Amino acid sequence: MTSAASPAEPTNGLLASPALRQGVAVGIATGLYGISCGALAVAAGLSVEQAMATSLLLFSGGSQFAFFGVIAAGGAPVAAVATSTLLGVRNAFYGLQMARLLNVRGLRKMAAAHLTIDESTAVAVSQPDLRQSTIGFWATGIAVFVLWNLMTLVGALLGDAMGDPRTYGLDAAAAAAFLALLWPRLRGFDPLATAAGAVALTLITAPALPAGIPILIAVLAAVIVGLLPRRAAAS
């Protein structure tokens, strides 16, 4: 009896994991907005295949939308790639944290790098222990990847027939899910001050700087603030 039940125990424990449920929920909220990705790609002049290629290979909503925006405005492909790359630089900062947290190698490391996005990182770092962080990262990354690509295909096939996807509130759903992950961590003066400072920097610099630069400034400011207590403690 015991030996027959033991193989199911890890699976049952995984299914009961709060990190798994949280990751899937965030994946659904974020992935559904992928329908706008496909619709905007086709509206910008890309084919269905090209729209799918951006979601499969680039897999970064902000970078994809920036790419489509430049193309739709008549910008050169080089400018579109540069703008989307600039927005994707933030994932490199996430990768530094995730590399230490996940400690994976080989093909799993390549997969982890591709799935390192805002949502998977947020779910991972919000967990109470290493096991839950690992489960949360993979659950969120895989859920977002599958749904984002599926909904990109739906949006690209429907095209203009669906109208503006923002009217359905899908963009708000993705933002709300991300905010729900962030909110519990904003306790105490330092986290609140850092978040407020990052928001202020973004609002001040966004009107004057190219897309992507305000986000990088906010991220760098948060990283510097996070390093200051460690330096003070070390000294």
| pLDDT tens sequence across 124-133 | 988 888 889 9
Furthest-apart CA pair in the chain: how many Å? 68
Chain segment 48-102, per-residue pLDDT in tens: 999 999 999 989 887 888 788 778 777 677 777 877 777 777 788 788 888 888 9
Position 6 scores a pLDDT of 42
Would the pTM count as exceeding 0.75? no
How does residue 152 score in pLDDT terms, banded at 50, 70 and 90?
very high
Interatomic CA distance for residues 14 and 216, integer angstroms:
36
pLDDT at 153 over 90: yes
On the question of pLDDT at 37 being above 60, the answer is yes
Amino acid residing at 113:
A
**Tokens 């540069």 label which residue?**
82
- The predicted pLDDT at position 2 comes to 42
Nearest to 54 by CA among 128, 152, 124: 152
| Statement: residue 14 has pLDDT above 70 | no
Say if CB 26 and CB 140 are below 8 A apart. yes
Any idea what DSSP says for residue 54? I
- Output 227 or 131, whichever has higher pLDDT: 131
Buried (b) or exposed (e) across 57-95, using 16+ Cβ within 10 A?
Answer: ebbbbbbbbbbbbbbeeeeeeeebebbbebbbebbebbe
Query: Residue 100 has what pLDDT?
Result: 85
**Which two structure tokens, joined as six digits, stand for 159?**
């095209």
Is pLDDT at 20 greater than 80 in this prediction?
yes
Range of lowest pLDDT (24-28, 75-79, 94-98, 229-233): 229-233
List C-alpha distances in Å: 217 to 192, 200, 222. 17, 11, 9
- Per mean pLDDT, which of 101-115, 153-167, 206-220 is the most reliable? 101-115
pLDDT above 70 covers a percentage of the chain that reads: 70
More confident residue, 79 or 114: 114
Q: In this model, does residue 170 exceed pLDDT 60?
A: no
